Amino acid sequence: MATNSAVRPTPFERATPTRPSLFEFPFVWRVSPDADAADRHHLEWAQRFGLVASPRAIASLEQVAYGLITAVIEPGLRGEDLNLVTNWIGWIVTFDDQFDGPFGDKPHLVAQIMENMIDILRGKPGAPPHSYHPYEKALGDLMARTQARMSPAWCERYYNHQASFMTAVSTEMTQRQTSRVWDLDEYLERRYDTIWVRALVDLVEISVRYELPDVINHSWECATMRKELVFSMSIYNDFYSLPKDITRKDSHNAIFVLSRLHNMTHEQAMAKLRDLLDQSLARYLAAQAELPRLFNSLALSNIDREGCLRWSTGMDNLWAGINNLHVYHHRYSAETMSKPPAEADLLDYWDLLPDHKNTTNVLSRNPHT
């Protein structure tokens, strides 16, 4: 596979490992050199749109360093492209974390919020502007900048994955209340969306500055690579998040699902999942190896061949980057994951309901000031 010569392996100078890597794979991980500038941009952007307001939340956002996170996950990004993707990742993570706060046990309110945000993503005719709270205003900015950068077809695909994430979060909240037990296939179907990796895969095309043609995007080879990457990243996250899920009594983890369904210990469930991960990586590499044959059969131009190979390398970078994010970032340190949400997530919590008057006496506006 071709590599981007402008992106060289670099030491992770701004952090030390919080834990050893739990997995091995044949990909070299990289970091964009523009991480510092993206950190500064995201902090200013988040404050400008009001995603953070209190000194505590601003300091927490600065410590999280979303520019560095994005530079690890999508190392091919530079300049304004890195800023845009950093803002998307920072927006989605802090939006998701809102539901560990006051909304965490109110699935009926979460459903209203998600339907409202999906209206915005889909530009639903006749939908109210809903522009009173920071997350809506920031979403509008992100959509405008993305639409200026990518084609309408790409944006529709990406927004659909965003909407699937929001629907899955709402479903997960409801399931927590009903205590319904899913089997592994049902769990993974929802997990693929709640972990937001499908959207991260879309963003690889911004990273490599190339939109896959439809005939390539829908090919067996590329579809298999996406499917296996999303599966593996979902399970990686469950392995690394296990201490947090135990602390918070969160049943949404593949290790817990297998343990319940098959009366396994956690160790036995993890061994089974490792086997599945090995098989997934093998399928990914086999599909990737078929790309040159696909290019020949379609008589792709040299420009399209190079673009598709850059995308393939970007997928490798994403595979390695998501794993290494869990290894290096303090969000997944033992200290952070041992704390309950109110202590670990130092956010400002906002009223997110579509009808402002319905929020009276429901939520605290800003408990962290």
What is the pLDDT averaged over residues 36-59? 93
Q: What is the mean pLDDT of residues 261-266?
A: 92
Which pLDDT does position 365 carry in this prediction?
A: 36
pLDDT of 61 higher than 60: yes
> In the chain, pLDDT over 70 holds for what percent of residues?
83
Across all residues in the chain, what is the average pLDDT? 84
Q: What is the domain partition of the chain in residue ranges?
A: 31-179+339-369, 181-338
Mean pLDDT computed over 7-24 = 64
Q: 102 vs 238, which has greater pLDDT?
A: 238
Whole-number pLDDT of residue 271: 97
Summarize pLDDT for 313-346 with one digit per residue, the tens: 999 999 999 998 888 887 787 777 777 655 445 5
Please check the confidence at residue 175 and state whether its pLDDT lies above 80: no
Tell me the CATH number of domain 31-179+339-369, given options 3.30.565.10, 3.90.1010.10, 1.10.1740.10, 1.10.600.10: 1.10.600.10
Mean pLDDT of 238-266: 88
Q: State pLDDT tens for residues 97-106.
A: 887 766 667 7
CA distance linking residue 213 with residue 226, whole number of Å: 15
pLDDT, position 335: 78
Query: In CATH, what is the architecture of 181-338?
Result: Orthogonal Bundle (1.10)
